[in-house]
Chains A and B, each alone.
Chain A
Amino acid sequence: MDRAAAVPHDAAHDADPPGLEELLGLVARGDEQAFGRVYDLISPTVYGLVRRILRDPAQSEEVTQEVLVEVWRSACRYDARRGSPQAWVMTLAHRRAVDRVRSEQASSDREARAAAADTQRPYDEVAEEATDRLERERVRRCLDTLTELQEQSVRLAFYGGYSYREVAGLLSAPLGTIKTRMRDGLIRLRDCLGVDW
């Protein structure tokens, strides 16, 4: 077998390193080297989110692996007209993590997750990049612009992996209210973050 692919790719002589979208196009055609670069770009975000939802490090690693292999397997599903590659990957990651959490159903764990989603700010990284810190700050500021119920609904569903029925139970609010709060909370976040889709 040709081991040329194992030689680290030297990005330095690329005038403009390919972005995630371009790399996914290569991955869709079976380019393993491009996949390695995709891994480097997205694995911290995937792992961070999955870990946030699952909390358990071993399970988080497992699900992160599943997500990344899924990115490889279904790279041809990514359609740039429907959204950014980051959104596509993170949708896969969130769905996988949520599926894992729902298949567990250990109630003590679920309570712990509720507490985590409720009080923890997104932090706990030691060597974070400056850009990551900025992004984190921006997200935190935008979450602060939400009403209490909007913020809790979005946090519990997104960072806690709860269904809207569970969120309604946890917050003792009617189902219809929670559905609406999730939507208007996301609208406010979207506008605050300057998302232009």
Chain B
Amino acid sequence: MGQDTHTLTGAYALNALSPTESVRFEDHLADCDSCVQEVRGFAETSARLAAATVQAPPAELRARVLEEVARTRQLAPAPERLPEPRARRTWPWLLGLALAACVATIIALGAVVLDQGRQVDELHANEQRIAAVISAPDAVSTSAEPMEGVSVTVVSSETLGDLVFSAHGLEDLHEEDYQLWLTRDDGSVYSAGVLSVDEAGFVLPVLAEPDEGTEGVAVTVEPEGGSDQPTSDPVMAMPVTG
């Protein structure tokens, strides 16, 4: 990050950065207390700017919102903490930021997974196994929205011992790749390969065989082709259920 990264606090707080810039800036926030502090102050300031626009919504809206709320499942609090790496790298924000706080666990396969199902038909390598995981009777799907517009789904089947990762909404990278990691409860991580993202931001499902002690998945931005070990902080991470 260049030395002027700190000056992005304002544009970040005003939602004036592109999604990729925001993610990178959030990386920076993980290591920069003064920026965190400044962004908080700006969020409070923005709330005051917003308070100057008060306008009562149409009265019917209340009933509509309450009705939707009554049938909307809430996100469950996330597990207390994600695996804390003890060796090599520390990922400070694994314990803190947004996506760790709530994780939706969807028992039935959601729309994302159905989309994956369509994609799956076109795959050659691993296609049978991916389809098997997604349609396994004991398949457990975990989804999260690590940032606005990005959704991540992990489907795992205990009997098959496999896990399928997919996501959509990721920004295109230039001369860099997204790399998927599995994180173990002892803090170590191992690669599950580089993600292939199409123009629409859809990630081709990745099949992985998690070993004993695997607790979560994480995605980092790495030099093209991937790295042996993560060289940057994750842009997203989530625990894996089951």
Interface positions of A (Cβ within 8 A of B) = 28, 30, 32, 35-36, 39-40, 43-49, 51-52, 57, 61, 64-65, 68-69, 72-77, 79, 82-84, 86-91, 93-96, 98-99, 122, 124-125, 127-129, 132, 135-136, 138-140, 154, 157-159, 161-165, 167, 176, 178-187, 189-190, 193, 195, 197
A sample of 26 cross-chain residue pairs with beta-carbon separation below 8 angstroms, ordered by A number, consists of A36-B66, A45-B53, A48-B53, A48-B54, A49-B50, A65-B61, A74-B102, A76-B101, A77-B75, A87-B40, A87-B44, A96-B148, A122-B53, A124-B55, A125-B54, A127-B56, A129-B54, A132-B51, A136-B54, A158-B46, A164-B16, A186-B10, A189-B45, A190-B41, A195-B45, A195-B48
What is the CB-to-nearest-CB distance from B203 to chain A, in angstroms, rounded to a whole number? Answer: 20
Q: Which residues of B contact A99 (CB under 8 A)?
A: 148-149
Q: Which residues of A contact B49 (CB under 8 A)?
A: 139, 154, 158-159, 189
Interface hit among B1-9, B114-122, B135-143, B205-213: B1-9
B76 within 8 A of A: yes
Q: Which residues of A contact B56 (CB under 8 A)?
A: 43-44, 47, 125, 127
Given A158-B14, A158-B49, A179-B10, A35-B69 contact (CB < 8 Å)? yes
Given A39-B66, A93-B50, A76-B77 contact (CB < 8 Å)? yes
Q: Which residue on B lies nearest to A40, using beta carbons?
A: B62
Q: Which residue on B lies nearest to A53, using beta carbons?
A: B53
Given A77-B98, A139-B52, A83-B76 contact (CB < 8 Å)? no
The reply to whether B52 and A122 contact each other, CB–CB distance below 8 Å, is yes
The reply to whether A94 and B76 contact each other, CB–CB distance below 8 Å, is no
Give CA–CA (A99, B138) in the complex, Å: 36
What is the CB-to-nearest-CB distance from B93 to chain A, in angstroms, rounded to a whole number? Answer: 13
The reply to whether A167 and B16 contact each other, CB–CB distance below 8 Å, is yes
Q: Closest 10 CB pairs between A and B?
A: A183-B10, A182-B10, A48-B53, A47-B57, A48-B55, A157-B14, A139-B52, A122-B52, A164-B16, A87-B43
Interface positions of B (Cβ within 8 A of A) = 4, 7-11, 13-18, 37-38, 40-58, 61-62, 64-66, 68-70, 72-77, 98, 101-102, 148-149
The reply to whether B57 and A43 contact each other, CB–CB distance below 8 Å, is yes
The reply to whether B62 and A76 contact each other, CB–CB distance below 8 Å, is no
The reply to whether A164 and B55 contact each other, CB–CB distance below 8 Å, is no
What is the CB-to-nearest-CB distance from A129 to chain B, in angstroms, rounded to a whole number? Answer: 8
Q: Which residues of B contact A161 (CB under 8 A)?
A: 15
The reply to whether A35 and B66 contact each other, CB–CB distance below 8 Å, is yes
**A140: contacting residue among B47, B52, B77, CB under 8 A:** B52
What is the CB-to-nearest-CB distance from B52 to chain A, in angstroms, rounded to a whole number? Answer: 4
**A84: contacting residue among B47, B54, B58, B148, CB under 8 A:** B47
Give CA–CA (A171, B3) in the complex, Å: 25
Given A79-B101, A195-B45, A176-B57 contact (CB < 8 Å)? no
The reply to whether B17 and A49 contact each other, CB–CB distance below 8 Å, is no
What is the CB-to-nearest-CB distance from A92 to chain B, in angstroms, rounded to a whole number? Answer: 9
The reply to whether B9 and A183 contact each other, CB–CB distance below 8 Å, is yes
Q: Which residues of B contact A30 (CB under 8 A)?
A: 74
